[in-house]
């Protein structure tokens, strides 16, 4: 289930709905919805409140974000800079993340070539301690 969802997300550029996954895997729709909720409970997925619509399948975001990813397997959005680089790692270890400094708006590009990050004048800031990331994962 998890792998199918990720593979469809990568192939189609969007996460499959529970009804699509149910059809693809020969499951009942309720069964697929329950599986999506279980994956969310396990912090594998983030669902839109009160639905089984996938908002995040880390490192990928279903909606555009300020972390645009160009990878060997296509263009995506990461949920944050960690996830943007994580998407590059997951999708072949060569690619780039385009974002901008929240302070000055200057573009920042993180480029990875065959597993090596090219130099970039930047720092990464974590506002929330690790133990509290899942208190509000969208903010974290």
Partner 1 sequence: MLAFRSEEHVERWRKPLGLPRGGILTPERQWRLADAWYADRLAADWRRRTPEEAEALFAALGLEGAFWQLRP
Provide φ and ψ at 85, rounded to 5°: -70, -35
- Of the candidates 45, 65, 68, the one whose C-alpha atom is nearest the C-alpha of residue 55 is 45
Q: Does 2 bind partner 1 (CB under 8 A)?
A: yes
Q: Does 21 bind partner 1 (CB under 8 A)?
A: no
Beta strands 107-113 and 95-100: pairing type? antiparallel
- Of the candidates 47, 57, 68, 80, the one whose C-alpha atom is nearest the C-alpha of residue 10 is 57
Q: Which is nearer to partner 1, 17 or 59 (CB)?
A: 59
Q: Which is nearer to partner 1, 131 or 136 (CB)?
A: 131
* Residue numbers 79-98 binding partner 1 by CB under 8 A: 80-90, 93
What is the 8-class DSSP label of residue 49?
T
- Of the candidates 48, 52, 46, 15, the one whose C-alpha atom is nearest the C-alpha of residue 33 is 52
- Among 14, 19, 23, 43, the residue binding partner 1 under the rule CB under 8 A is 43
CB of 46 to partner 1, least distance (A): 14
Summarize as ranges the residues that interact with partner 1 (CB under 8 A).
2-3, 6-7, 10, 42-44, 58-59, 80-90, 93, 99, 101-104, 106, 108, 110, 112, 115, 117, 119-131, 140
């Amino acid at each position: 289930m998890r792998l199918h969802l990720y593979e469809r997300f990568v192939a189609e550029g969007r996460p499959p709905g529970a009804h699509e996954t149910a059809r693809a895997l020969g499951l009942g729709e309720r069964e697929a919805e329950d599986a999506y909720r279980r994956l969310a409970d396990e912090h594998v997925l983030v669902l839109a409140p009160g639905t089984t619509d996938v908002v995040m399948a880390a490192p990928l975001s279903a909606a555009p974000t300020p972390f645009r990813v160009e990878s060997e397997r296509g263009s995506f959005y990461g949920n944050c800079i960690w996830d943007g680089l994580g998407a590059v790692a997951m999708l072949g270890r060569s690619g780039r993340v385009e974002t901008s400094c929240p302070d000055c708006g200057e573009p920042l590009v993180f480029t990875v070539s065959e597993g090596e990050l090219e130099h970039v004048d930047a720092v990464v800031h974590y506002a929330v301690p690790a133990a509290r990331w899942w208190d509000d994962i969208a903010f974290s």
